[in-house]
């Protein structure tokens, strides 16, 4: 009678040991599958809270980084637009220099030069007026614009004297573009790019900290998983072939002791 009781107690202990090993094995399998050592609060309450706080900060930083990138793109778009406007001004200036050569062109030639200059003036004004980013004009001087750039007026190549005045007007516009482009370059380089880089570094540091808290060391977790798997299979095998000597078997299992 006592032998039966001992056997039942031994098998019960074996079953508990098997259940424990299986539970630990399944937990390791979950860590290996997710790549995380903390998948729920019970895996590490304090670490989970800190990890979630870091993730929130990382999310906010990523949005700030995106906003800064958009601003950089906005200013780069403005700079590209001004480059095209500069090209148009230089073409007008070349025509004006030609027209200012008094006595070299007859009236028909001056009229042709003037017609080309008028077309370029319209193109310049259209370039400035239609320049926008995210449905906001870039150069109207209103809130959200990059700068205020005036329309080009007074282009006249109908005579050498008028052409010389046009050259002076174009030079004023070119100086204006120089000033605006210098401001754009300074803002992108000294403010926006610097802010972007700083945010990136902060984000990388937070990601590394969060990873240290939550990510699993796959080599260690795999080693533990193999250990628990062996223990579970051993316990299962012993239960299947158990005899009255369950006490000896239980001693062997206790000696192996599943690491937690």
Distance between CA atoms of residues 19 and 25, nearest Å: 10
Give the count of beta carbons closer than 10 Å to the beta carbon of residue 246. Answer: 20
Which residues are within 8 A (CB) of 155 and not within 5 positions of it... i.e. 6 or more apart?
A: 92, 96, 117, 118, 120, 121, 166, 169, 170
Per-residue model confidence (pLDDT) at position 194:
95
Distance of CA 249 to the CA centre of its chain: 58
Average pLDDT, the chain: 80
Q: What is the CATH number of domain 43-215?
A: 1.20.1330.10
Query: What is residue 136's three-state secondary structure?
Result: strand
The full DSSP string for 164-220 is HHHHHHHHHHHHHHHHHHHHHHHIIIIIIHHHHHHHHHHHHHHHHHHHHHHB--HHH
Helix (H) or strand (E) holding 137: strand 136-137
Query: What is residue 16's three-state secondary structure?
Result: helix
Give the count of beta carbons closer than 10 Å to the beta carbon of residue 42. Answer: 8
Query: What is residue 148's three-state secondary structure?
Result: strand
Per-residue pLDDT reduced to its tens digit, 205-241: 998 887 777 655 555 655 665 565 666 666 666 656 6
Greater confidence (36 vs 191) lies with 191
Per-residue confidence band for 49, with pLDDT thresholds at 50, 70 and 90: confident
Under a CB-based contact definition with an 8 Å cutoff, are residues 235 and 246 in contact?
Answer: no
Per-residue pLDDT reduced to its tens digit, 168-187: 999 999 999 999 999 999 99
Mean pLDDT of 149-162: 94
């Amino acid at each position: 009678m006592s032998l039966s009781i001992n056997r039942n107690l031994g098998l019960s202990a074996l079953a508990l040991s098997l259940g424990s090993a299986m539970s630990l094995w399944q937990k390791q399998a979950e860590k290996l599958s997710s790549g995380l050592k903390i998948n729920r609060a019970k895996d590490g309450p304090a670490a989970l809270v800190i990890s979630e706080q870091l993730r929130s900060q990382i999310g906010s930083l990523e949005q700030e980084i995106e906003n800064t990138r958009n601003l950089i793109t906005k200013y780069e778009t403005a700079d590209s637009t001004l480059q095209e406007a500069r090209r148009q001004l230089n073409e007008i200036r070349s025509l004006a220099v030609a027209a200012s050569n008094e006595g070299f062109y007859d009236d028909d030639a001056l009229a042709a030069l003037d017609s080309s200059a008028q077309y370029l003036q319209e193109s310049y004004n259209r370039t400035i007026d239609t320049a926008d980013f995210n449905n906001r004009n870039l150069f109207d001087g209103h809130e959200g614009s990059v700068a205020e750039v005036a329309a080009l007026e007074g282009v006249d190549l109908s005579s050498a004297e008028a052409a010389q005045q046009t050259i002076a007007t174009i030079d004023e516009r070119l100086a204006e573009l120089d000033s605006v482009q210098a401001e754009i370059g300074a803002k992108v380089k000294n403010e926006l790019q610097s802010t972007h880089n700083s945010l990136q570094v902060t984000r990388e540091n937070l990601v590394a900290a969060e990873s240290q808290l939550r990510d699993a060391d796959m080599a260690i977790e795999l080693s533990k998983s193999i250990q628990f798997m062996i223990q579970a299979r051993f316990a299962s095998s012993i239960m299947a072939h158990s005899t009255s000597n369950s006490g000896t078997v239980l001693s062997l299992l206790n000696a192996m002791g599943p690491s937690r």
